[in-house]
Amino acid sequence: MNDEQWKNLLEVLDGRAHHPIHCGFIVDSPWLPGWFGVETVEYLSSETIWFEANRKAVETFPGIWFLPGFWSEFGMCTEPSAFGARCIFPRNEFPFAEKAIGSVEQIADLKTPDPGTDGLLPLVLNRLKWAQPRIEELGHRIRFSISRGPLNIASFLMGVTEFLLALKTAPGLMHRLLRVATDFLKQWHELQRSNFSSIDGILILDDIVGFVGEKDFVEFALPYLRELYAVNVAVKFFHNDAPCAKSVRYYPEIGINLFNPGIQTPLRQLRSLSNHRLTILGTIPPRDVLAQGTPEDVRVAVRQLLEQTPDRSRLILSCSGGMPPGVTTENIQAFQDEANALTG
């Protein structure tokens, strides 16, 4: 994000309504390689291809906020790799990490990885260091420290089903696993902030938060997320595009002020549950409208959302969840054009 976009984002988080309303999207490796015309493995393995894809996005759509912006990542493999997970990189599919914990008994001996040396994390950091002067030449800055969340990491290391079952059968060991994951993430975010003075935001993505009920959220997610968000930055951004109706009321208490939800909970209900204390990045259907719809379908969806939302404070128009594969330039332009026409 450039300085003007960042200033406007802070004003939106503070409750100021802007005209026209701002549009923004989470963009990373599920969307950018295909839109740029390269294979996923090329995008992830080449600094120049990665940079040029991100550069093309910000220059093609100068009026749209891309969050977090120039995201240095290796898909879902980034954090699990530090714990020794075997990472699989198909040429043109999403990378994934294999399970690294075969039994809950292994958790007792689990060590906290060093984000400065372990797995793919040093490569993530080095790519940003290489890119920083190039990003700043474009008028943008590195704004966020970024990671998957502790429940997300635990589910990759164990398997989703195994992790969720163990919350009930071995809660003590699950707290130990989440303690190790959280300590690791605190170090990882601090390392990112210490390397880039322009960082004034944190982004954590954890869909597994939406897989548990309220009681388990309060026990196994809330205390660890509260620790992670207890940092002195202006933007505390959370992504959970699984169901959030059981947990969203707690997000302001955690410190979150910007939230990207899924499609399960309507915007009106999200605002009611959170007492309108969150800025929402959403909530157009990502796959069925933005990726698979026509430009006219996109315009209709934007129009309907705005007609149903007379109070447009603390709202950034987007899709629910991150930008999905297959979204065309024409659909993104239709999205922005309709928003500008109706709120300018």
Q: What is the mean pLDDT of residues 269-282?
A: 97
74 within a domain of the structure (yes/no): yes
Residue-wise pLDDT tens digits, 22-41: 999 999 999 999 999 999 99
Q: pLDDT at position 344, please?
A: 83
CATH number at residue 59: 3.20.20.210
The residues facing 270 across adjacent strands are none
- For CA atoms 259, 330, 144, 91, the dihedral sign is positive
297 within a domain of the structure (yes/no): no
Q: What is the mean pLDDT of residues 44-53?
A: 98
Q: pLDDT at position 137, please?
A: 98
153 within a domain of the structure (yes/no): yes
Q: pLDDT at position 282, please?
A: 95
Tokens 């802070």 -> residue: 10
- For CA atoms 70, 285, 244, 162, the dihedral sign is negative
How far CA 256 is from CA of 151, 215, 289, 295, in Å, comes to 17, 20, 28, 33
Residue-wise pLDDT tens digits, 108-118: 999 999 999 99
Q: What is the mean pLDDT of residues 96-105?
A: 96
Among 306, 310, 330, smallest CA distance to 318 is for 306
Q: What is the mean pLDDT of residues 259-269?
A: 97
189 within a domain of the structure (yes/no): yes
Structural domain tally of the chain? Answer: 1
pLDDT level of residue 159 (50, 70, 90 thresholds) = very high
140 within a domain of the structure (yes/no): yes
| Nearby residues of 222 by Cβ (< 8 Å), 6 or more positions away | 250, 253, 254
Q: pLDDT at position 210, please?
A: 97
3-state secondary structure the chain: CEHHHHHHHHHHHCCCCCCCCCEEEECCCCCHHHHHCCCHHHHHHCHHHHHHHHHHHHHHCCCCEEECCCCCCECECHHHHHCCCCEECCCCCCCEECCCCCCHHHHHHCCCCCCCCCCCHHHHHHHHHHHHHHHHHCCECCCEEEEECHHHHHHHHHCHHHHHHHHHHCHHHHHHHHHHHHHHHHHHHHHHHHHCCCCCEEEEECHHHHHCCHHHHHHHCHHHHHHHCCCCCCEEEEEECCCCCCCHHHHHHHCCCEEEECCCCCHHHHHHHCCCCCEEEEEECHHHHHHCCCHHHHHHHHHHHHHCCCCCCCEEEEECCCCCCCCCHHHHHHHHHHHHHHHC
250 within a domain of the structure (yes/no): yes
78 within a domain of the structure (yes/no): yes
For residue 46, the enclosing domain spans: 23-256+268-275
Q: What is the mean pLDDT of residues 313-335?
A: 98
pLDDT level of residue 184 (50, 70, 90 thresholds) = very high
Q: pLDDT at position 111, please?
A: 96
205 within a domain of the structure (yes/no): yes
